[in-house]
Amino acid sequence: MPGVVVLGMVKIVGLPSDGTSFGYLVPLASGMASKGVSIMMQKISPCFWCDGNAEELARFYVSIFKNSKLGEIMRWPPGYDHEDKVLTVTFELEGRTYLALNGGPEYKFTPALSLSVDCESQEEVDTLWEKLLAGGGAPVQCGWLTDKFGVSWQIVPRELPEMLADADRKRAGRVMAAMMKMVKLDIASLRAAYQQR
What does the pLDDT average to over 72-78? 94
Domains of the chain: 6-102 (3.30.720.100), 114-195 (3.10.180.10)
pLDDT at 115: 98
Q: Which residues pair with 49 in a beta bridge?
A: 101
pLDDT confidence band for 42 (50 / 70 / 90): confident
Residue 7 confidence (pLDDT) above 50: no
pLDDT at 19: 43
Q: Which residues pair with 45 in a beta bridge?
A: none
pLDDT at 40: 56
Give per-residue pLDDT as tens, 136-163.
999 999 999 999 999 999 999 999 999 9
pLDDT at 128: 98
- The average confidence (pLDDT) of the chain is 85
DSSP string covering the chain, please? -TT--EEEEEEEEE--TTS--EEEEEEEEGGGSPTT------SS--EEEESS-HHHHHHHHHHHSSS-EEEEEEEPPTTSTTTTSEEEEEEEETTEEEEEEE--SS----TTSEEEEEESSHHHHHHHHHHHHTTT-EE-STTEEE-TTS-EEEEEETHHHHHHT-S-HHHHHHHHHHHHT-SS--HHHHHHHHH--
Provide the angle, in degrees to the nearest 10, between the axes of the packed helices 169-180 and 187-195.
150
pLDDT at 33: 42
Lay out the sheet containing 144-146: strands in order across. 114-119, 152-157, 144-146, 138-139
Neighbours of 55 (CB within 10 A): 18
pLDDT at 85: 95
Give per-residue pLDDT as tens, 9-31.
444 444 444 444 434 334 343 34
Residue 49 confidence (pLDDT) above 50: yes
- Distance CA(143)–CA(112), nearest Å, equals 15
